[in-house]
C-alpha cells in the first residue's frame, strides 16, 4: 500500500529538486538524470504480478531437486520472465529516450552534457539555431524553426524507438498483460 500511495501522491517538483540537487549533490551530474526515475511503482507492480503468476509447480520441482532460492531465481524464474523483462526494458528505454525535463532541471548550463533529446528540444521549441541553418531574429529573440525542420527533428527522435520496437513487440502483449491482470 505504501508503494501505491506514492503513485497518487508525490512530493512535488520543488522538494524533488531540493533532494536531488542539495541533499545528494546531483546538480550538473549525469546520475541526476537517471536516479529520480530509476524505480517506477507501476513497473514494480507489473513485475510483481508477473512473478506471482509463475508456475508454482516449477518452483516446487526445483526445490525437490535441491535448488536453493537463488538457484530457483536464476534457473526457473528468470528464464520464464523474458517477456516482462523485455517490456520493462522497452518502458525504461522509451522513458529515458524521450526525457528532456530532468536535463532542463539539473543541467541547464553545460550544453556539452546535454543528451540529444534536450538539444533537439532547444532547436525546435526554443528557437536555438541549428548548425548550417540561418537563424532569424525578431525583436532580439530567435524565431522557432520552420515546420519542416520541426517535423524532421520529430522523425529523428522516433527512429531508434521504431527500430527497437519490432524486436520487443512479440513479448509486449504477453509481458504487459500477464503481469497486469490476475487470472
Q: pLDDT of the chain along its 183 residues, tens only?
A: 888 888 888 888 898 899 888 888 888 888 888 888 888 888 888 888 888 887 888 889 999 999 999 999 899 888 888 888 888 888 888 888 888 888 888 888 777 778 888 878 777 776 655 555 555 555 555 565 577 777 887 788 888 888 888 887 777 666 555 544 444
For the full predicted model, state whether its pTM sits above 0.75: no
Residues in a beta bridge with 138: 141
Is 12 exposed, middle or buried (CB count within 10 Å of its CB: 0-12, 13-18, 19+)? exposed
3-state DSSP call for residue 137?
strand
Q: Which residues contact 131 (CB under 8 A, 6 or more apart)?
A: none
Amino acid at each position: 500500500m505504501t508503494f501505491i500511495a506514492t503513485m497518487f501522491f508525490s512530493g512535488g517538483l520543488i522538494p524533488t529538486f531540493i533532494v536531488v540537487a542539495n541533499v545528494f549533490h546531483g546538480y550538473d551530474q549525469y546520475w541526476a538524470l537517471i536516479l529520480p526515475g530509476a524505480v517506477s511503482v507501476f513497473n514494480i507492480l507489473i513485475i510483481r504480478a508477473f512473478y506471482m503468476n509463475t508456475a508454482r509447480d516449477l518452483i516446487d520441482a526445483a526445490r525437490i531437486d535441491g535448488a536453493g532460492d537463488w538457484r530457483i531465481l536464476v534457473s526457473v524464474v528468470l528464464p520464464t520472465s523474458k517477456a516482462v523483462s523485455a517490456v520493462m526494458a522497452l518502458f525504461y528505454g522509451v522513458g529515458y529516450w524521450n526525457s528532456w525535463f530532468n536535463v532542463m532541471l539539473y543541467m541547464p548550463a553545460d550544453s556539452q552534457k546535454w543528451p540529444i533529446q534536450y538539444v533537439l528540444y532547444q532547436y525546435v521549441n526554443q528557437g536555438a539555431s541549428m548548425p548550417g541553418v540561418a537563424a532569424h531574429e525578431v525583436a532580439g529573440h530567435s524565431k522557432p524553426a520552420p515546420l519542416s525542420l520541426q517535423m524532421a527533428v520529430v522523425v529523428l527522435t522516433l527512429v531508434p524507438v521504431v527500430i527497437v520496437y519490432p524486436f520487443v513487440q512479440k513479448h509486449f502483449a504477453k509481458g504487459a498483460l500477464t503481469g497486469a491482470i490476475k487470472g
